[in-house]
């Protein structure tokens, strides 16, 4: 999936107006990591790359060239973020 399209999906402020709410049941961080793990060889590369106060950082979106639009939308729904360097993060 094109990085520009992924950035557009993450930065769309109209999700709630379009029927997509940032809403989930259970552990949104773990659910997001499960999506990421489908696209990253986690036996040879870390998928949790760092942490700050209440925020976990994961891989760059360029490490997941085969991620689908549905999977990106699911990460958005689970309240994952994409920073200015295209790395995924999630508040925990």
| Residues 13-72 pLDDT 10s | 665 555 567 778 899 999 999 999 999 998 999 999 999 999 999 999 999 999 999 999
- CA 36 to the chain's CA centroid: 7
pLDDT given for residue 89 in this prediction:
96
User: What is the dihedral sign for C-alpha 63, 65, 68, 72?
Assistant: positive
- Domain positions in the chain are 3-91
Q: Which stretch of DSSP H or E encloses residue 30?
A: helix 28-37
Confidence of residue 82 (pLDDT cuts 50, 70, 90): very high
Quick one: which of 65, 76, 82, 75 has its CA closest to 1? Answer: 65
């Amino acid at each position: 999936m094109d990085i520009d399209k992924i950035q557009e999906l993450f930065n769309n402020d109209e999700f709630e107006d379009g029927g997509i709410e940032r809403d989930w049941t259970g552990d949104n961080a773990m659910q997001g990591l499960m999506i990421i793990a489908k696209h990253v060889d986690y036996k040879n590369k870390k998928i949790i790359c760092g942490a700050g106060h209440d925020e976990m950082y994961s891989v760059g979106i360029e490490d997941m060239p085969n991620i689908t639009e549905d999977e990106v939308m699911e990460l958005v729904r689970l309240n994952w973020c994409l920073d200015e360097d295209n790395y995924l993060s999630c508040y925990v």
